[in-house]
Amino acid sequence: MLKQAVILVGGLGTRLGEMTRLVPKPLLDVAGRPFLDYILDELSRYPTIQDIVLLAGHQAGQVVDRYRGRRWRGATVSVVSEPAQMGTGGALKHAASRLDEKFLLLNGDSFFDFNMLDLAAPVRSPAIVRVALKKDQAGDRYGRVLLDRDFIKTFLPAGAQPNGPINSGVYCVDRDVLSFIDEGPCSLEQAVFPRLAEKGQLRAALYDGFFIDIGVPADFERAQTELPDRVCRPAVFFDRDGVLNIDKAYVHEVDDFEWVAGARAAIKLCNDRGYLTFVVTNQAGVARGYYGIEAVHALHDWMSADLAQIGAHIDEFQYCPYHEEGVVAEWRQASDRRKPAPGMILDCLKGWRVRQEFSLLVGDMPHDLQAAAAAGIKGHLFEGGDLLSFIRPLLGANVASQLTRG
């Protein structure tokens, strides 16, 4: 299971001139926040990502001071500083002792809105490096990528071709890549990737989300307005028992858990379409003494690991262990988080940047829909069957008519 992400934040950023002389490019201010914060927010959406490593170079002290040792939702951030400018490949080799067997690798000066777990899903064909390609991106400043099926054959320089896919700077990497990196300064893009392509060890997947690279002044200025808008997304709220899994009454153990038909694929569709994806579930079994909150957490962790096998995830699990008739004193009380009250939904709306007007809830009971209405979002009653077939038209209508992505 993929647990690590590595971000390259060591470049000099010479095309931005004086702006990056004293500040690392990924730490430049975009709408009141360092650009790197937006990337960390994206990575922390994936519950399986627990370790984020920043590879710092230029003005590394600023990266250390701001990020070393911080928690970013469920992930811990650490920093590895280069002793000198070593290039993207050299920086990776310098951090060899910190790398997992497989990890996500991202450029710290670009943002690509797509489902990163899809790139890392075990169902994809094996390769030492898998590259996320933006399907098309206007502008002569980008080099293009030539493919043979999903194999990358070669990279064309900027201006050589007016259209076609580009390298987004997001990769799923096996640690074996280190054997292709020479000692000393080395560029992944110029020295390592061509060698991997020759050996058939460089594969690609195409995505069509919003992409921006802040490496030139015009795009840096564009990021000031476009990036904050793009990271405010619609959300799908799922009830759990009876919607995502068969309701067998107080399910709390993996052995009793059974996905509803199409549930995993429905979650992945939400991820792929760019929706935030939440679970909001009443868990009165805790108050009634049937199981503890540790069992709730363990089951949700198992769900996250199982979803990751197909490149899917839940952004956040919200649950309410309270019930006014509970037998466990700690949990015996009324709660504004217990549906039909909207507390769990409202907590998600407070904790995430959500386009509330385009969001929706899927539940199997009237109290689910009452909670949705109280929170100001649309509720849809799922009465069984295939969840993917149920949710597809709901997402399609929203995406086609309300959202512009890419």
DSSP three-state, residue 153: strand
State the pLDDT at residue 204: 97
Please give the average per-residue pLDDT across 130-157, as a whole number.
Answer: 92
406 pLDDT band (50/70/90 cuts)?
very low
* 49 and 170 belong to one structural domain: yes
* 266 and 379 belong to one structural domain: yes
Spatial CA neighbour of 76 closest among 5, 9, 26: 5
Spatial contact of 110 and 212, defined as CB atoms under 8 Å apart: yes
Please give the average per-residue pLDDT across 89-98, as a whole number.
Answer: 96
* 165 and 272 belong to one structural domain: no
Structural domain boundaries, residue 194: 4-230
Q: Does residue 347 carry a catalytic annotation?
A: no
141 pLDDT band (50/70/90 cuts)?
confident
State the pLDDT at residue 1: 85
Using a 10 angstrom Cβ sphere, with 0-12 exposed, 13-18 middle and 19 or more buried, the burial of residue 393 is exposed
* 118 and 76 belong to one structural domain: yes
Mention every residue, 6+ apart, whose C-beta is less than 8 A from residue 321. Answer: 283, 284, 286, 287, 293, 296, 331
Q: Does residue 118 carry a catalytic annotation?
A: no
279 pLDDT band (50/70/90 cuts)?
very high
* 251 and 266 belong to one structural domain: yes
Catalytic residue among 239, 315, 364, 368: 239
Percentage of residues in the chain having pLDDT higher than 90: 88
Residue 381 has pLDDT above 60, yes or no: yes
State the pLDDT at residue 353: 96
State the pLDDT at residue 396: 67
Percentage of residues in the chain having pLDDT higher than 70: 97
What CATH number is given to the structural domain containing 141?
Answer: 3.90.550.10
* 204 and 258 belong to one structural domain: no
Last residue within a domain, chosen from 164, 195, 230: 230
State the pLDDT at residue 403: 47
Residue 309 has pLDDT above 90, yes or no: yes
The Cα–Cα gap between 250 and 382 comes to 19
Last residue within a domain, chosen from 182, 205, 230: 230
Residue 405 has pLDDT above 90, yes or no: no
* 65 and 42 belong to one structural domain: yes
Q: How many domains does the chain have?
A: 2
* 204 and 275 belong to one structural domain: no
Please give the average per-residue pLDDT across 202-212, as a whole number.
Answer: 95
Span 166-176, pLDDT tens digits: 999 999 999 99
**Other CB atoms within 10 A of residue 182 CB:** 12
DSSP three-state, residue 124: coil
State the pLDDT at residue 27: 97
Residue 85 has pLDDT above 50, yes or no: yes
State the pLDDT at residue 125: 86
Please give the average per-residue pLDDT across 282-311, as a whole number.
Answer: 98
Last residue within a domain, chosen from 198, 230, 262: 230
Catalytic residue among 109, 118, 213, 241: 241
* 301 and 376 belong to one structural domain: yes
165 pLDDT band (50/70/90 cuts)?
very high
Residue 331 has pLDDT above 80, yes or no: yes
- Listed range (127-141, 244-258, 272-286) with the worst mean pLDDT: 127-141
State the pLDDT at residue 114: 96
Please give the average per-residue pLDDT across 287-300, as a whole number.
Answer: 98
DSSP structure string for 335-350: -TTSTTS-HHHHHHHH
Please give the average per-residue pLDDT across 106-133, as a whole number.
Answer: 95
Residues forming a β-bridge with 156: 144
What CATH number is given to the structural domain containing 343?
Answer: 3.40.50.1000
Mention every residue, 6+ apart, whose C-beta is less than 8 A from residue 101. Answer: 174, 175
Spatial CA neighbour of 35 closest among 228, 234, 315: 228
147 pLDDT band (50/70/90 cuts)?
very high
* 361 and 283 belong to one structural domain: yes
* 219 and 241 belong to one structural domain: no
State the pLDDT at residue 402: 44
* 264 and 161 belong to one structural domain: no
Q: Output the pTM of the full model.
A: 0.94
